[in-house]
Chain A
């Protein structure tokens, strides 16, 4: 095969894992059924990051999209792993909680609405400290409130993975779906190595990390 035949195929391939958070969320919905809630043009940025010299993001790294999947009402909430490690702060946490609560309210009123959490996150945003921790608690309680009515599905595609407080949200979901690239754990490999030593966990050993945090074993305890 000549090179000109190979390149277009390579360039035009559709890969979920190569999409950013927003495109991932959009790609889940039936065509023409979705709309984004509190999007970048609403400029709901973190008020805390600029105070610490860090550029914020217009959607605070949390993308909320409402629509239908296979005809069923659903809301997808994606954390953008490339922005501040997909960390959860005051604004992104409030968006996530509000979206889950609206789904629970609709479900309670008879319009069953599923939630899909696209988690690429290191957990709480350190710059927002306690507000991030409070957000994790709120997200978990909102997941638990929705779960009796409609499925809450956590989808971890990679390559950031899902760690820290948000791994607890994954743990209380109705279902967890992971790709082979994804990782799920409470503490990330570097954190474990730093705290317990390289003999406990070698964070440069990729085979070991994926054996522990990859889908084959992580889903056994999730």
Chain B
């Protein structure tokens, strides 16, 4: 199991809603997305699969190239592929943008 943290200080748009998406099933993950307590966005991942920090970084760099909300993201992961991760994040964004 590995803990991974990222900060995206440039994401400053204020967010008011929160979202919970997904289940920690095999090849899947769950995400909590809510307003950040500090300025900028931060990401905290708990994953059962070790050694994929670079892949997570690439996924979130891409996600925050389009999304600018100051969110706190927490993830529990059971081996979701990068594609599934992005889909779960998009689902969460859909909820907080409603």
Write the residues of chain A forming the contact surface with B, with a CB cutoff of 8 angstroms.
Answer: 20-21, 39-41, 45, 50, 53-58, 80, 82-84
Contact = CB atoms under 8 A, between A and B. Distances in A.
A82 B77 CA distance: 13
Contacts, number: 47
Interface stretch (B23-31, B58-66, B82-90): B23-31
Nearest to B22: A20
A40 B48 contact: no
A96 to B, nearest CB: 18
Interface of B: 1, 18, 20, 23-26, 28, 30, 32, 34, 46-48, 74, 76-78
Contacts of B48: 53-55
B25 A83 contact: yes
Contact of B1 (A21, A54, A83, A84): A54
Given A82-B25, A82-B28, A83-B25, A58 B1 contact: no
The dominant DSSP class at the A interface is loop
Nearest to A84: B24
B15 to A, nearest CB: 14
25 contacts: A21-B23, A39-B20, A40-B20, A40-B30, A41-B32, A45-B76, A50-B46, A54-B1, A55-B1, A55-B24, A55-B47, A55-B48, A55-B77, A56-B24, A56-B46, A56-B76, A57-B24, A57-B30, A57-B76, A58-B76, A82-B23, A82-B25, A82-B28, A83-B24, A83-B25
Contacts of A53: 1, 48
Given A40-B30, A41-B18, A82-B28, A57 B1 contact: no
Nearest to A21: B23
Contacts of B77: 55
A23 to B, nearest CB: 11
A55 B78 contact: yes
Nearest to A51: B1
Identify which of A39, A41, A55, A82 gathers the most chain B CB atoms within 10 Å of its CB. Answer: A55
Contacts of A54: 1, 48
B91 to A, nearest CB: 12
